[in-house]
Amino acid sequence: MDRTTDLSAALGFVIGRIEAEAMRSGKPLTEEQRFLLNNLPSESGVPEFSTGDPEFPLHFVPRDTVYEPLCALAKTAHRSDLALDPRSHEWEFAFNVSKFNGHPMRWLLQWAGVKQRRPWWDRWLLVAASLLFIMATIPLMLLVIDKGRVLWRWAVIAVVYAGLVLFMRFASRRIEERQLKQNIERCRSASR
């Protein structure tokens, strides 16, 4: 699996399909839209505005008139491709590759309705992780009830708790990375 080759193939597919859908709709992409599509930012450049009222914290985000039509075109292209061939895996491949590489195209594909296929045991793993987190929190609550101020107990519990949280974070990232690699390989073998 070559990451750069996969990423360029996925980006080329998505950009090509969005441009084709724009042409089919009769409104070709503007230069600004084409530039944005080829150079997606890694974070939003649209400022948020707050009302300043702490009781009603409304946040206003102005509409992005360049990005939103690209999302709509991607959604239309994705739906029409699924209507033509429901077994097609190109969009899923593009989403998995962009997410695996941390490319901003994953957000556009998410807005387009492309989903990552998860294994059946994924939810059970989340339940097990939450139970493990709860089990690690119980000793902290017992120490507070005990009212004993033994410093070594607090230090041991804090180190174990921090270690468990870090382990869960790294383990979840490794599991997600492995799932993405498996999804990429599955999509690649299905499209051959």
Kindly tell me if the per-residue pLDDT of 50 is higher than 60.
no
Residue 176 has pLDDT above 80, yes or no: yes
Portion of the chain with pLDDT greater than 90, in percent: 6
- pLDDT grade for 48, boundaries at 50, 70 and 90: low
Is residue 184 scored above 60 in pLDDT? yes
Question: How is the chain split into domains, by residue range?
Answer: 3-116, 119-192
* φ/ψ of residue 60, rounded to 5: -100, 130
* 5 or 58, which is more confident: 5
Sort 155 into a burial class: Cβ within 10 Å, 0-12 / 13-18 / 19+: exposed
Is the model's pLDDT at 166 over the cut of 80? yes
18: closest CA among 103, 27, 84, 153?
Answer: 27
Tokens 């070559």 correspond to what residue? 2
Averaged pLDDT for residues 33-41: 84
User: How do 59-60 and 49-50 pair as beta strands?
Assistant: antiparallel
Strand partners, 49: 60
Q: Per DSSP, what are the bridge partners of residue 50?
A: 59
